[in-house]
């Protein structure tokens, strides 16, 4: 049994390292059906299973995607789907040299007793679902917790109860993942919405991360076999004073150094609704200034910050697929450059030529 556990541990570690190797990052295409449908509706795209399948095929068949992307996070519907020619999506991903992953939480729901706060659900039956996803080819999983900030502070948001409950769920999910041989991507997201300052965001982010890692320790999660997917430390979207790119880079790295153990192999930031160019510029600034001083890789696990322009170009029309794929590939390449500290505004100008 001990030998089996050691083999499983090494597999987890090797996968986690591969997920942040080569200056690549993760691409999240794990939007739930309702969320995907909302984005389609805004662009007049039919909200159907066929349209969602066509869109995911567009993404996964983008030429040379594996040059920039190390892993793709799928949704339950998507991991079961195939190309029009019958090739399973998982095979396409693996053949491209990309690691398949899967979102396993069932969404954030209102937290009883704490108006305005959410708790992520999905632990019931998770062991069996993880075993199924592993058999289907997934090598990592993702669970997202959301933490809101009330800048005024009148409602005490975030409460300790919300932070503790979500941290505990993240840790239990992580332990179950590692038991199943899947690397857990741990995503505690302090939300951008609100009027809070960057200083308030930094304080909450540090509290959340300390609590998460305390719970991970209690649940005996192997830190070398996990990936952290946090928010960047930002001013609230409606804050009157927006922090600069360099201020975001400094505050974010300071928070991580104070809370994230060196054993964690990589940190893959969520985009959280940031504009594409800002998400890349902020990641770039962190790597320019701090890359050589940090114990873990700073990478990306973006969804909209890579997908959105491609979706807007595609608009559900086959004749737009090639142009949409070019836009997707371009943004993936921009973020690989940001990991190297080589991103520039000139790269964004190339996007306008597509």
Q: Kindly list the catalytic residues.
A: 187, 229
| Alpha helices, H only, 219-275 | 245-259
Q: What is the DSSP string of 145-192?
A: EEE---SS-TT-SS-HHHHHHHHHHHHHHHHHHHHTT-EEEEEEEE--
| Alpha helices, H only, 260-320 | 276-290, 304-314
In whole angstroms, give the CA distance from residue 64 to residue 319: 20
Please say whether the beta carbons of 74 and 103 come within 8 A.
Answer: yes
Give me the phi and psi of 159, to 5 degrees please: -85, 160
In whole angstroms, give the CA distance from residue 314 to residue 154: 44
Integer-rounded Cα radius of gyration of the chain: 19
In whole angstroms, give the CA distance from residue 335 to residue 279: 9
């Amino acid at each position: 049994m001990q030998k089996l556990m050691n083999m499983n541990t090494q597999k987890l570690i090797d996968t986690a390292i591969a997920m942040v190797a080569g200056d690549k990052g993760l691409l999240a295409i794990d939007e739930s059906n309702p969320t995907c449908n909302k984005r389609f509706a805004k662009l007049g795209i039919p909200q159907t299973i066929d349209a969602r399948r066509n869109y995911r095929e567009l993404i996964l068949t983008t030429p040379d995607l594996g040059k920039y992307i190390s892993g793709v996070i799928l949704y339950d519907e998507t991991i079961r789907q195939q190309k029009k020619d019958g090739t399973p999506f998982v095979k396409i991903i693996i053949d491209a040299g990309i690691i398949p992953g899967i979102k396993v939480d069932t969404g954030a729901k209102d937290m009883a007793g704490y108006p305005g706060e959410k708790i992520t659900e999905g632990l019931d039956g998770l062991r069996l679902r993880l075993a199924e996803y592993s058999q289907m080819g997934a090598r990592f999983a993702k669970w997202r917790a959301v933490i809101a900030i009330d800048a005024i502070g009148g409602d005490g948001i975030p409460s300790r109860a919300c932070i503790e409950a979500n941290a505990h769920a993240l840790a239990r999910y992580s332990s179950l993942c590692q038991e199943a041989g899947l690397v857990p991507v741990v995503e505690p997201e302090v939300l951008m919405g609100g009027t809070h300052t960057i200083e308030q965001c930094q304080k909450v982010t540090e509290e959340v991360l300390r609590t998460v890692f305390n719970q991970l320790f209690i649940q005996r999660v192997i830190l070398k076999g996990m990936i952290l997917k946090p928010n960047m430390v930002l001013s609230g979207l409606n804050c009157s004073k927006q922090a600069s790119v360099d201020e975001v880079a400094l505050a974010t790295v300071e928070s991580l150094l104070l809370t994230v153990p060196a054993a964690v192999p990589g940190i893959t930031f969520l985009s959280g609704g940031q504009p594409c160019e800002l998400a890349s510029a902020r990641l770039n600034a962190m790597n320019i200034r701090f890359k050589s001083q940090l114990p873990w890789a700073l990478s990306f696990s973006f969804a909209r910050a890579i997908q959105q322009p491609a979706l807007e170009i595609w608009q559900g029309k086959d004749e737009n697929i090639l142009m949409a794929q070019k836009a997707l590939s371009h943004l993936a390449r921009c973020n690989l450059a940001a990991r190297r500290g080589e991103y520039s505004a000139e790269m964004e100008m190339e996007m306008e030529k597509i």
